Chains A and B, each alone.
Chain A
Amino acid sequence: MKLPARRTSYGVKGAPYTFLIPATLLFLLFFALPIGYAVWLSFRKVRVSGLGLGAGAREEVWAGLENYTGALSDSELLNGALRVLGYGCIVVPVMLGLALLFALMLDSEKVRLAPFTRLAIFLPYAVPGVVAALLWGFLYLPDVSPFYFVLDRLGLPQPDLLDGGPLYLALSNIAVWGGTGFNMIVIYTALRAIPAEVYEAAKLDGATPLQTALRIKIPMVAPSLVLTFFFSIIATLQVFSEPTTLKPLTNSVATTWSPLMKVYQDAFGKGDIHAAAAQATLIALATLVLSFGFLRAANRRNKQEAAR
């Protein structure tokens, strides 16, 4: 007789809570408290008296929703949001599509050189961001880039990669290059967890490798696809390092190109942590709505499929 799955019984009720103590404690200390403080800061502002020099010139006062209304009516922030949405539409599908493709390829039976390619695709993750501006400067700037050199020799047109439309491609490329390996590994590990019996059954039914991939593997790694999608959305809405990397190389990337760059600028450049906190809270809320909305939709679909 098969026991019902996952039933807590005979005195193990306290166990999950005990297991979760470390995580909860760390969360309270390093996430909840700072987030709370940041939100609290977003309702305050600094008032300056007189010339503002010397002791006692500045004091923190209550600001109510001033920082929020300021953020919502700030055209820089809104433009940044639009830019980032466009950027996300390129990055997320391409990066996850590639990650899925590579993971499936790695998982196929007839693959060769898997350890090498696995390492190679993961390697971009290992290049520190500090080096990135230099690196992409060498690869993107017309005067030094080998690609322009080749295009020049072949007599082909040389688009300015750091301007207008191509700029989005240039930025997306950096993100895709850096992030595909990460997501590939996540999906790949999930693929390895699929029990062998499933494949046996498929083979007995005469499924080709392609059909196995599409009908069996992809649905079975759906949770990890959801995971990577969720975190990709967050990473995209909070994009910061790619535009900051390209900024010194070109006139086309403003200091506030993405919303998070504006937050950084206000917090660290202007020293106005209050406005930055309000903007960050708004960004967090937007991300929350988008990603949890997506998660809810995905879960509903899963339940529907399971019920079938």
Chain B
Amino acid sequence: MNSRRIERRFNIIRTLVAIAASLGIAIVIILLVSKDPWNALYNFLVGPVTSLRRFCNVLELAIPLTFCGLAVSMIFSAGLSNLAAEGSFYTACATTALAAILLDLPPVIHPIVCLLIGTATGILVMGIPAVLKLKWNANELVSSLMLNYICLYIATYLIRTQVLDSSLGITGSVSFQTTASLPNLVAGTRLHLGLVFVIIAIIVCWLTLYRTKLGYSVRMIGHNEHFSRYSGMKVGGTLLVVQLIGGALAGFGGATEMIGMYTRFQYQGLTQYGFDGMLIAIIARYNPALVPIAAVFLSYIRTGADIMNRTSDVPMEIISVIQAGIIMLIVAKKFLNTFEYKQVVNQSKERLEEKEM
């Protein structure tokens, strides 16, 4: 076993310990604050698998989370901190809703057009911080976070002025045309064709990142930008392309979510899926193949927290503790690294001894 494999193994262990530690902290908090902690814990941890409907809820929620996780994984692989996935997703939801309401198209073509419009919106939104970065080297983290707020207002404006259903009492759109909806996979649940799309997206992302020249450049730039520039890679263009791919994924995810899960636009604020996508990307270490696992995990604790919220006295916001804990512990280089170093040292010693003999 070489030191690289030790490193990889410890990355997995570190991730699992980080998740376990964060879950542990959340459980302790639940035990402290709840009047009926065992009921709360049961619903939180086991709740999502107690019925088929709830389990399908987990999978439904995992679809947008995976799309956003893939988007952020692609972008973060290149060492960028563009968080406009949130705004891309949300704005795409709004434009998709417009397309689903205002366009008159035959059944199969209508959802396809909706998906294309959502994807284009995602690319457009993500392109703004990407171009600002490319042209003027403007900090993409701050610009993308500011852009997310602007996206929230633009989307609300579009819905409010174009397709508002004033009978709702909240800012929501009128119903989508029935031709626009994606078909359901399992009767009686909301699990939709998006599940197939997301599997394709995972495969395409993995192939792009690990089996193409573009993907190699992206990972190389993320590893060492100066080296990549020195060795003749077109750094600026590659960074722009990978961010636009991220925007396309988030936009497509938003469009899928809209016409797969809902019959009208009724979000009242940002969905936070873009930020969840970042958490997922970090757990998966930016590897698209691991993104769905991380997404299902997050979706599971989300669904569990939601059930707990409804059935006990513990609010679902407890999961922010888990999320923050996981991020901080996974990205901490020194967390558990003494063990890793010891293993590497021991192994090197063994090898030296073997040589001497």
Q: Do chains A and B stick together as partners?
A: no
